[in-house]
Amino acid sequence: MFNTVKQRLGGSVTKMITGSAPIAGDVLDFLKVCFCCDICEGYGMTETSAGSCLTMEGDPMTGIVGGPLQNVKIRLRDIPEMGHLHTNPIPAGEVCFWGPSVTRGYFRNEEKTKETVTPDGWLFSGDVCCVFSNGAMKIIDRAKNIFKLSQGEYIAPEKLENVYIQHPMAAQVWIHGESTQDHVILFFVVDEVAAKAWSERTGKDVASLPGDQELIQKIVDEICALADANKFNALEKPKQLKLLLEPFSVENDLLTPTFKLKRNVAKTRFTADIDAMYAAPVLRPSKKK
């Protein structure tokens, strides 16, 4: 049935490999069917000389990165604060690499080397995975506050948040991104005083603020202006915005005692909103007249 599509590639392709960034499971399944061949997904780092894991030929699962290749050994490092433990029913933890292909350190950067590579040569990847009973690994989180979008570009959310919090109506902001999506989204906690001022100015009830599309578009325009002023690229500009009235706090378990956002908890708490935001059309700044 798909022979015509197969012939577009010459008709003799039996295997493809994808890497660099995660690929959505439905896209991977679609490509396997269209091209009538195995598509293996790889995983690795620059620090491990690229490819270090690969799915097995014929594996029907998608969303996994297979197991380790011959150039590395892998172990998991527990991250109790995020609930990722090797003792979980499905073991989870930060991926650590060891082997002849793993870097010994960073050039003229002893501090970064000590932070990332142990004295006996184990490299902390910053990626969190779970390991299934058949040995297949699945990347599920980041141990560090950096994530990768589907294009393979890394996003440092704290850098963006430190700028977007400058918006006059912002009390707190949270930039979130998914490795299977091509843009970031913004959760924007509105300052209580600013919310009351908006209510008095517009004659609308404060409770209606999160759904006010005119205000959402205005904030999007102003956030994008902040991004332009700080020379952020297009991927660093949020394409969806969620206004919140309830602040992140220690009491609602969204902040640590030192007032840092618990990103993993927030992701779980706002899963439905995240899914809805990614399903909705992207928001773009208004065209200048």
State which of 142, 171, 198 marks the end of a domain.
Answer: 142
120 and 88 belong to one structural domain: yes
Residue 280 CA to residue 169 CA, distance in Å, equals 24
Give the global pTM: 0.69
The CB-side HSE value for 155 (13 A sphere, CA atoms) comes to 27
113 and 161 belong to one structural domain: no
Q: Mean pLDDT in the chain?
A: 93
122 and 161 belong to one structural domain: no
* pLDDT score recorded for residue 287: 75
Q: Is residue 287 domain-resident?
A: no
pLDDT tens figures, 68-87: 999 999 999 998 877 889 99
* Residue that the structure tokens 């015509």 belong to: 4
Select from 149, 196, 193, 156 the least CA-distant residue to 175. 156
Q: Is residue 284 domain-resident?
A: no
Please give the single-letter amino acid code of residue 212.
D
130 and 195 belong to one structural domain: no
Number of compact structural domains in the chain: 2
Cβ 139 vs Cβ 108: under 8 Å: no
136 and 7 belong to one structural domain: yes
Residue 285 CA to residue 216 CA, distance in Å, equals 11
| Token pair in block for residue 7 | 């012939």
State which of 82, 109, 142 marks the end of a domain.
Answer: 142
**Mean pLDDT on 176-196:** 96
Angle between helices 157-164 and 213-229 (to 10 degrees): 110
The CB-side HSE value for 23 (13 A sphere, CA atoms) comes to 19
* Residue that the structure tokens 């620090």 belong to: 47
15-18 and 38-45 strand pairing: parallel
Q: Is residue 232 domain-resident?
A: yes
Q: How many CB atoms lie within 10 A of CB 22?
A: 21
Does 289 have pLDDT greater than 60? no
Rg of the chain (C-alpha set): 22
138 and 151 belong to one structural domain: no
154 and 203 belong to one structural domain: yes
17 and 70 belong to one structural domain: yes
Select from 207, 172, 213, 210 the least CA-distant residue to 191. 172
102 and 81 belong to one structural domain: yes
Cβ 25 vs Cβ 49: under 8 Å: no
135 and 154 belong to one structural domain: no
Write out the residue range of the structural domain in which residue 171 sits: 147-279
pLDDT tens figures, 228-265: 999 999 999 999 999 999 999 999 999 988 788 999 89
